[in-house]
Amino acid sequence: NAGVTQTPKFQVLKTGQSMTLQCAQDMNHNSMYWYRQDPGMGLRLIYYSASEGTTDKGEVPNGYNVSRLNKREFSLRLESAAPSQTSVYFCAAGDSLYEQYFGPGTRLTVT
Amino acid sequence: DQQVKQNSPSLSVQEGRISILNCDYTNSMFDYFLWYKKYPAEGPTFLISISSIKDKNEDGRFTVFLNKSAKHLSLHIVPSQPGDSAVYFCAASVGGSYNNNDMRFGAGTRLTVKP
């Protein structure tokens, strides 16, 4: 039982490159989330998916797209990476605030 | 506009003593508050929560206090243990414990418990 897994763990991109962060959960939760964490700031919600086939914007969605491929998987895509997107990205799954399980994070650097 | 603030980036306490982590918020519509704990290279994990209808919630060594009039909450850890050394995030939400879509996090406080 892995919980929430994220790949890759680390990534370095050049400005303008694209990439997809992968997230998968094995807990059968309906809701999944993508957050970013920047130094000196709390986690901020980028996008969420309340159920398979639905996605909605969070607090900071600009520059990102998401896909809820099925109930298990929720991916985050950067189409044209910018230095401002350097951050640690966390995926989470859970259907209530106190039952939200986070993955280990992806540390992304855009140069 | 940071609606949830943790003004102390770090806190150091001796093992066995009390740790008090503080959090202030500005949005009076928040009605559910949580504390998460995060170890290095791991995602945050849920620690304890409190609804705005209560002013205290206790779970073992962890107690959260809510002062709605001051828009302030605090996490007390008694007694503190070296394994409690981590970053603690305060979070708040509008719409109760099932609204995951508008949760706001503080920047975190790094707690170090010295043996």
* Total residues found in chain B within this entry: 115
Residues of A with CB below 8 A from B104's CB? 42, 59
Q: Is A84 helix (H, G, I), strand (E, B) or coil?
A: helix
Q: How confident is the model at residue A62 (pLDDT cuts 50, 70, 90)?
A: very high
DSSP code, position A97: G
Low-confidence ranges of chain B (pLDDT < 50): none
Residues of A in contact with B27 (CB under 8 A): none
| Distance in angstroms (rounded) separating the CA atoms of residues B62 and B34 | 12
Write out pLDDT tens, residues B75-96. 999 999 999 999 999 999 987 6
pLDDT the model gives residue A41: 87
pLDDT, residue B102, reads 77
- Cα gap A28→A48, rounded to integer Å: 16
Question: What is the pLDDT at residue A34?
Answer: 96
The confidence score (pLDDT) of residue A95 equals 84
More confident residue, A11 or B103: A11
The reply to whether residue A104 touches residue B91, judged by beta carbons under 8 angstroms, is no
pLDDT for A96 equals 78
Chain A residues interacting with chain B (CB cutoff of 8 angstroms): 4, 31, 33, 40-45, 48, 50, 56, 58-59, 90, 92, 94-105
